[in-house]
Structure 1
Amino acid sequence: MKFLALVVALFSAAAVYVAHASGHGVVYLLAAFSFLAAVVTFMAAENTSTFIRILIRFFATETVILGTCVCVSALGRWPAALEGIRVPSSVAITVALFCVLAYVAAYIPVARRALDIADRYFRTAGTMRVPLLGFRVSERRAAAGALMFLVAINQLQVFMVVNISFVSRTLFNSLQSGDPPAFWHAVLVDYPIYLVPYLVSLYIEFVVSNTLFIRWREFLTEDYSGRWLDRHNHYGMMLAGVGTDNPDQRIQEDVPRFINGGMFGGLGIYNFSINLIAQLSSLVAYSIILWTASQKLTFPGTGFHMPGFLFWCALAFAMLGTGGTMGIGRKLATLAFARQHYEANYRFSLARLREYSEQIALLFGEKTERGILSERFVSIIRNFFSIVIVKANLSVFQNFFESISNYVPLIILAPFFFAKIVTLGDMTLTLQAFGMVNSALTFFITYYDNLADFRSVLARLTTFDASLAAGAPVPEVAHPVEPTRDFVLSGVSLDLPDGSPLLKPFDLRLAANENVLVVGPSGSGKSTLFRAISGVWPYGDGKVAAPAGAKVMVLPQKPYLPVGTLAAAVSYPEPAGTFDEATLKKVLTEVGLEKLTDKLGLDDNWTQRLSGGEQQRLAIARAILAQPDWLLLDEATSAMDVDLERRTYETIARLLPKATVVSIAHRPSLVDHHDRVLTMEPTADGLFTPREKTKVAAE
């Protein structure tokens, strides 16, 4: 970008020479704005948002190209064949100004937060396959190219709409003057010249923009879900007490809404940026029309002329509307954030009811559940009426403003029309220009609701980012690798997440091929000890040395069964398709689930479909497939009867002969399946510590 900044600076110097040589003072203004564009282009080369750098690079290039056209025209060397498309100096000045505005926007606090998220995609090191052509290109370069192309096509659409407005002026003037040839030429020749390319550009824009959206969403979805799942970060967030509410909603709903407003309309960072650029381009183009139209307006009967009269009227009218809208709707962003929170909590409660349907029915808990749902829905209702009140006030003001906006320019121009100072075509063009300028200046009125929603989406994603960062201690847990085959715990003490001590410092060696049973009262730290051995518990001190290359697998009391096919549930944590059907059928038969062998391809919610004992046996089947070196069973057979539990341990011993089994349990019958017994004994200070116990029945 520094080279581009040098090119823009050289053009600025050349524009000064052209201004001096041609005597066109406006070219000096172009030179000044070009110099500012060169400065911000140079400054944006480092420590600036990538998204903003793309826009600045595009506008700086436009400044040189369009500015060169202006300079050629000022020197009187513009080709006669292109006389109808001479570039106004105001257009070149505007794109130079866009460079400055884009740079300033990068340092507005709310914009910086949005750009921090957007930039991740435009900095990605990945590649993408080009549709139809087949070869691969850099993802970030393709994304930057698509963004610049979409900005350019929107500017082209503004150019075509402006020219359609001039065709409308010709059409109405021909009607007023009774000139049929001019009328039909405008309808059959001039109008299609601009309308057809305009419609084609809309089609191209739709395809390119939606391709950009889905690639952008795919990247951000992978970014958020990857960081949430990476190295147990979702678990670390829960332990640290910073778990954001409804992370599934943040990823599934807020990511697309952040980009382009989502499937149901709205405003995202792309829509906002492109619409704002288009509106500013329209503002410049139609302001020129209003300013030019004001030149022949002299107040009837006075001879008084006010430069830019129509433009100043449009500006004053828009400022009135913007101020009123911002004053009335200032609470919408906060209310929108709260609405998403209440709706998500209510939806989560419904999902939990479905998940635990059997338990609720057995406990006759429907009345309580109805009360919980009603209580949560009351929050939705209160928030809803708060939003309704604000939106009702805002709607009345916006509709009033919109209804009178069609008559204000008509009332202003009527005296000039009756005095025959303007023609019907001039009046029509001026009305359109007034409407477009007013639309551009009232951009924030039109999109105020959407901007409020966008701010709430941005707030949810940034708080999710903050939670992901705050929940990072788990990845820091790492076990030194020892050349022995044993787990060696030296000076280990374990704490609760709030810092309260749980287990006093202790030393322990878990020897390979020596099965161990861990017993003790509830809350004594048995499960926490397993988590420390597995490397997912970050709270405490000491050293846990793991055997080199050891594969450790933990089976909890309530196993996790992903929604999907039974084959996928059995294979987990390996992906579906890792094991062939014959292997899956064999392992299900080994754990006594032969009745499920014909349901491997069935897609269902297996947590609800299977009993507790069946779920635990399915988890044992996973362990058999995984062939771990160390199998930690955290009451993983508690839902089985004594006989089935005995047969399950015999199956583990037969099919996992090289695995060391460490179990947490309370049944005395399990002592026979283990070589050692550890008991979590209380100490004088109310903590616990593991101690060797004579091999007797567990308590």
Structure 2
Amino acid sequence: MNLKKYLNKKLNFFHKFWAIAQLYWFSKEKWGAIFSIFLLLALLQLTTQINVVANTQQGNFVSALADKDTQRFWTSIGIFIGLRISLAVVRVWYTYVRFKPILAWRLWLTNHFIEKYLNKRSFYEINTLKKEIDNPDQRIAEDIQGFTEVSVSIFLDLFNTCLQVVAFSGVLWSISPTLMIFLIIYAGAGTLISIGFFGKRLVNINVEQQKKEGDFRFGLVRLRENAESVAFYRGEAQEINLLQSLFKRVFNNFQNWIMWQQVYFGAFMRAYDIIPPILPALVLAPNVLAGELEVGKITEAAGAFMALNGALYVLVRRFESLTGLGAGIERLFEFYSCLEQPETGIQHRVRQYKTFDTIVNTVEDNCLAIQNLTLYTPNYQRVLFEDISFTLKPGQGLLIKGTSGCGKSSLLRAIAGLWHSGKGTIIRPKLEEILFLPQRPYMVLGNLRNQLIYPQLTVDITDDEIYHILQQVNLPNLVERFGGLDVEKDWSDVLSLGEQQRIAFARLMITKPKYVILDEATSALDIENEGNLYQYLVDTHTTFISVGHRPTLSKYHQMSLDLTNSL
């Protein structure tokens, strides 16, 4: 039974590995990497042949010294030096070509995961509702790098192992079959002990280390993003405790890794490495002393023995890389399964909370309406509001009001298709026709022009038209202030929240959507600027829904909805 479990576990590991690997190696862009792999295999073949001949010549010049054969010595030395120079050139080319398939694979796989992560707003599901998928940024940035680099390296090592075994086995067997048998037993036992005893524990430690490192880095990023709020609260003491606690987990797990990887496994490796250098001399010494073998045969046998030992023991010598690969495969496969699963996270949550067997029905049409909508929190633990209905005619505005926590922003999330937990019907146009303006606008990485045309990639608009729109949102000097539309800044840092909200309205004027949904999108503006922006929506006959608290907003909306008493 234990053997069956072990085999199932290994098969499961290879299944997870292949699920990730086949994405690229079955794609149309694989051929350049395949050519590089074949070139690498040819270079390894050439390297092995050079090593075999060089090993023989090394034995020859040692025997020539023992026999005091001058001509044989210098001939062997000349050939040996020429082979070593050729080997150096081949290895340089091998090192250069080796990174080609790794980089091509990583580039394609990273782009693939980024597209899947952002497709159908999976990033929102994962970061908001699927907390078990921790640190997706780390999985994309680091785990893919380790997966591609170590996988290619191990494949080449295994191929090189086969070449070394084929090339040097004949050499060693011709000198001493007994030595060959010793080698197989010794290397096999070392591999089984290393993988069987140390393997499982080190993989688990590496998985935990990557998770804890990611949590610590996330804590630091979170502090940076909320630096002002923490400073206002004077929350430094609590942040120190939190970050120190996160790093303590990293530290403790790393100490555990040091003990198992460097101390226990390191001690085993050092003990294991004691015997191989002297074993050929011990086995062959009687034959040499009896005059049955030249003294150079010990050198030749030792070279072949060490080459074979290194080849047969390659998995153990790459054990740290293998444990890191195992941890990376686990995390990548979990991430991949989340992105590729046939049923959505919505369906999974409905099945998880069986008491509630319905989700919000969304219908695409050329209008905006809600019919008998009851909305729950995503985990179905609380009802936000019940049986809400309204119909918004083209060009009208709806103002949603209510106390904090009554579900105002949640209703907007449901309209946007982010929340589905509930029952009833939402009728809305395609999401491409709706522009959502949150309270804190997202400032994209890039130049000022990128900020203004977001979320579009390109817009047919002149610079003069952009300047005019900036004047309309009361930012007439913004371009001059930063030195042009193509200047890159950390815009969330250099612009106030009020300026960011006006940038969001500039995006609206550039995009010209038919429908707009505003979640307190003018909360940082004064009444005059807020009025100017809402008047633009009225003048352009835009259909819009607003969440807001100021009584001055009422005059820009034909309808209002109070969610305070909706339960």
Structure-1 residue corresponding to 2:164: 282
Give identity over the alignment, percent.
Answer: 27
Q: Which amino acid counterpart does residue 424 of structure 2 have in structure 1?
A: G
3-state SS of the aligned residue for 2:545?
strand
Map 1:541-620 onto structure 2 (within 5 A).
541-547=423-429, 551-575=433-457, 579-598=461-480, 599=482, 600-620=485-505
Tell me which of 345, 349, 358 is aligned to 2:219: 349
Q: Which amino acid counterpart does residue 486 of structure 1 have in structure 2?
A: C
Structure-1 residue corresponding to 2:184: 315
Give 1:387 deviation, angstroms: 1.0
Structure-1 residue corresponding to 2:115: 226
In 2, Cα distance between the equivalents of 1:665 and 1:216?
A: 49
Q: Which deviates further from its counterpart, 592-601 or 506-515? A: 592-601
Which consecutive residues of structure 1, in runs of 5 or more, have no partner in the other structure? 1-103, 126-138, 261-267, 295-307, 688-699
Structure-1 residue corresponding to 2:40: 150
Q: Which amino acid counterpart does residue 150 of structure 1 have in structure 2?
A: L
Structure-2 residue corresponding to 1:131: none
Q: Which amino acid counterpart does residue 614 of structure 1 have in structure 2?
A: E
C-alpha deviations, 1:583-606, integer Å up to 9, x for none? 333322321223421223332222
**Residues 502 and 358 (structure 1 numbering): CA distance in 2 closer, same or farther, change over 3 Å?**
closer
Give 1:448 deviation, angstroms: 1.2
Asked if the contact 1:570/1:619 (under 8 Å) is kept, the reply is: yes
3-state SS of the aligned residue for 2:549?
coil
Structure-2 residue corresponding to 1:538: 420
- TM-score computed with the length of structure 1 as normaliser: 0.73
Q: Which amino acid counterpart does residue 113 of structure 1 have in structure 2?
A: K
In 1, Cα distance between the equivalents of 2:174 and 2:297?
A: 11
Tell me which of 514, 534, 537 is aligned to 1:649: 534
Q: Which amino acid counterpart does residue 123 of structure 1 have in structure 2?
A: F
Asked if the contact 2:34/2:101 (under 8 Å) is kept, the reply is: no
Tell me which of 62, 67, 71 is aligned to 1:181: 71
Tell me which of 369, 372, 386 is aligned to 2:242: 372
**Residues 672 and 526 (structure 1 numbering): CA distance in 2 closer, same or farther, change over 3 Å?**
same
Structure-2 residue corresponding to 1:118: 21
**Residues 442 and 105 (structure 1 numbering): CA distance in 2 closer, same or farther, change over 3 Å?**
farther
In 2, Cα distance between the equivalents of 1:548 and 1:392?
A: 60
Tell me which of 490, 511, 524 is aligned to 2:393: 511
Asked if the contact 1:616/1:637 (under 8 Å) is kept, the reply is: yes
Which consecutive residues of structure 2, in runs of 5 or more, have no partner in the other structure? 1-6, 348-358
**Residues 587 and 463 (structure 1 numbering): CA distance in 2 closer, same or farther, change over 3 Å?**
same
Give 1:662 deviation, angstroms: 1.3
In 1, Cα distance between the equivalents of 2:461 and 2:346?
A: 31
Structure-2 residue corresponding to 1:72: none
Structure-2 residue corresponding to 1:264: none
Asked if the contact 2:57/2:79 (under 8 Å) is kept, the reply is: no
Map 1:162-561 onto structure 2 (within 5 A).
162-189=52-79, 191-192=81-82, 194-242=83-131, 244-260=133-149, 268-294=150-176, 308-326=177-195, 327-328=197-198, 330-390=200-260, 391-469=262-340, 472-473=344-345, 479-482=362-365, 485-500=366-381, 501-547=383-429, 551-561=433-443
**Residues 313 and 477 (structure 1 numbering): CA distance in 2 closer, same or farther, change over 3 Å?**
farther
C-alpha deviations, 1:130-175, integer Å up to 9, x for none? xxxxxxxxx2333333333323332232222112211212222222
Q: Which amino acid counterpart does residue 395 of structure 1 have in structure 2?
A: G
In 2, Cα distance between the equivalents of 1:197 and 1:541?
A: 74
**Residues 319 and 651 (structure 1 numbering): CA distance in 2 closer, same or farther, change over 3 Å?**
same
3-state SS of the aligned residue for 1:543?
strand
**Residues 273 and 571 (structure 1 numbering): CA distance in 2 closer, same or farther, change over 3 Å?**
same
**Residues 113 and 651 (structure 1 numbering): CA distance in 2 closer, same or farther, change over 3 Å?**
same
Asked if the contact 2:172/2:179 (under 8 Å) is kept, the reply is: yes
Query: Which one has the largest radius of gyration?
Result: 1
Give 1:186 deviation, angstroms: 2.2
Asked if the contact 2:396/2:557 (under 8 Å) is kept, the reply is: yes
Give 1:505 deviation, angstroms: 3.6
Give 1:380 deviation, angstroms: 1.2
Q: Which amino acid counterpart does residue 43 of structure 2 have in structure 1?
A: I
Q: Which deviates further from its counterpart, 671-680 or 142-151? A: 142-151
Map 1:19-58 onto structure 2 (within 5 A).
none
Kindly indicate whether residue 542 of structure 2 is the aligned counterpart of residue 659 of structure 1. yes
3-state SS of the aligned residue for 1:592?
coil
In 1, Cα distance between the equivalents of 2:126 and 2:88?
A: 50
Asked if the contact 1:242/1:467 (under 8 Å) is kept, the reply is: no
Asked if the contact 2:360/2:421 (under 8 Å) is kept, the reply is: no
Asked if the contact 1:343/1:380 (under 8 Å) is kept, the reply is: yes
Give 1:502 deviation, angstroms: 3.1
In 2, Cα distance between the equivalents of 1:650 and 1:436?
A: 81
Q: Which amino acid counterpart does residue 668 of structure 1 have in structure 2?
A: P
Structure-2 residue corresponding to 1:108: 11
Give 1:649 deviation, angstroms: 1.9
Give 1:242 deviation, angstroms: 4.6
3-state SS of the aligned residue for 1:513?
coil
Asked if the contact 2:452/2:506 (under 8 Å) is kept, the reply is: yes
Asked if the contact 1:531/1:537 (under 8 Å) is kept, the reply is: yes
Q: Which amino acid counterpart does residue 390 of structure 2 have in structure 1?
A: L
In 2, Cα distance between the equivalents of 1:105 and 1:143?
A: 31
Give 1:324 deviation, angstroms: 4.2
Q: Which amino acid counterpart does residue 181 of structure 1 have in structure 2?
A: Q
C-alpha deviations, 1:354-408, integer Å up to 9, x for none? 2222221122112221111111111111111111111212222212322442123
Asked if the contact 2:360/2:423 (under 8 Å) is kept, the reply is: no
3-state SS of the aligned residue for 1:108?
helix
